[in-house]
Structure 1
Amino acid sequence: MEESNNSSNSIIKAGLILALAVAAIFGYLYFNEKQENSQNNVSITEKTNELLRTNTKLDSISAQLDAKIAEIAALGGQVEELEALKAELQKDKKNLMSSKSFDAKEYQNKIKGYEAMLLEKDAEIAKLREENAILNNQNQVLNSENTGLKSTNSDLRTAKEALADSVYKTTVQNRELSEKVTLASALRPMNYTVAAINSRGKERDGEEFKARKVDRVKVSFKLAENPLTKKENKTIYMRMIDPTGNVISDMATGSGAFSFGGKETIYTAKQTILYSNSGQTVEYIYNRGANYEKGTYKIELYADGFRIGQTSFNIK
Structure 2
Amino acid sequence: MEKKKLITGIVTGIVGLALVGTVAYLYVNLDNQKKENKAMQELAELDKKEMENEYQQFATQYSEMKTQISNDSIIAQLTAEQEKTERLLKELKDTKSNDAREIARLKRELATVRAVLRSYVIEIDSLNRLNQNLTAENSRIKGQYNEATRQIEGLNSERASLSEKVAIAAQLDATGISMQLKNKKGKKTDKTSKCKTVQVNFTIAKNVTASNGTKTFYVRITSPSGTTLSGGGTFNYQNRSLEATMRKAVEYDGRETTISTFWNVSQSLMAGTYQVSVFADGNMIGSRSFSFK
Larger radius of gyration: 1
Q: TM (normalized to structure 2)?
A: 0.43
